[in-house]
Chain A
Amino acid sequence: MLSVDFEKRLAGFHLRPRFAADDELVVLLGPSGSGKSLTLRAIAGLLRPDSGRIELPAGPVFDAALGLDLPPQARNVGYVVQDLALFPHLTVAENIAFGLYAWPREAQRERVAELVELLGLQGLEARLPSAISGGQQQRVALGRALAARPRVLLLDEPFNAVDAPIRNALRREVARLRRQLGLVAVFVTHDLQEAYALADQIAVYDEGAVLQSGPRDAVFRRPASVRVAQLLDARNIVEGRVVGRTEAFIELETPWFRGRARPDADPSAGSGQTLATGATAALSIRPEHVILLRRDRPHANDLDTTLDVELVDELATGNNHRLFLRVVGPGGPTDCVLEADVSAHPYQVMGVASRRDWRVALTLDETVAIPVAGD
Chain B
Amino acid sequence: MSERRERPSAGVDATRVFAPLALLFVAFVAVPLVALGWRAVESGELAANLTSDLVLDAMRLSAVTSTIALALAILFGTPLAYLLARRDFPGKAVVDLIVDLPIVLPPTVAGVALLVAFGRRGVLGGRLDDLGLDVAFTTAAVVLAQLFVSAPYYIRTVKAGFEGVSPAYEGVAATLGASPLRIFRRVILPLSWPSVLAGAILCWARALSELGATLVFAGNFPGRTQTMPLAIIGVFDAGRPLDVAIALGVILVLAAAVLLVLLRLAARSATRPSF
Contacts and interface: CB of A to CB of B under 8 A. Distances in A.
Interface stretch (B105-113, B170-178, B247-255): B170-178
A83 interface: yes
Given A128-B274, A130-B274, A131-B274, A78 B175 contact: yes
Contacts of B169: 85, 87
A148 B168 contact: no
B9 interface: no
Interface in A143-165: 144-145, 147-148
B177 A46 contact: no
Contacts, number: 68
Interface in A188-242: none
Contact of A73 (B178, B187, B191, B274): B178
B230 to A, nearest CB: 42
A339 to B, nearest CB: 39
A75 B173 CA distance: 13
A85 B173 CA distance: 9
A98 B175 CA distance: 11
B171 A41 contact: yes
Contact of A72 (B171, B182, B190, B275): B171
Interface residues of A, number: 29
B273 interface: yes
Contacts of B171: 41, 44, 46, 72, 79, 81, 85
A144 to B, nearest CB: 7
B174 A45 contact: yes
Contacts of A85: 166, 168-169, 171-172
A77 B179 CA distance: 15
Contacts of A373: none
Interface in B117-166: 166
A98 B176 contact: yes
Given A77-B175, A98-B186, 9 more contacts: A44-B171, A81-B171, A87-B173, A87-B187, A88-B191, A89-B275, A101-B177, A130-B274, A131-B274
10 contacts: A45-B174, A72-B175, A75-B175, A87-B173, A89-B190, A131-B274, A144-B176, A145-B175, A145-B176, A147-B176
Counting from the closest, the 4 A-B pairs by CB-CB distance are: A99-B176, A72-B174, A85-B168, A79-B175
Interface of A: 41, 44-46, 71-73, 75, 77-79, 81-83, 85, 87-89, 98-99, 101-102, 128, 130-131, 144-145, 147-148
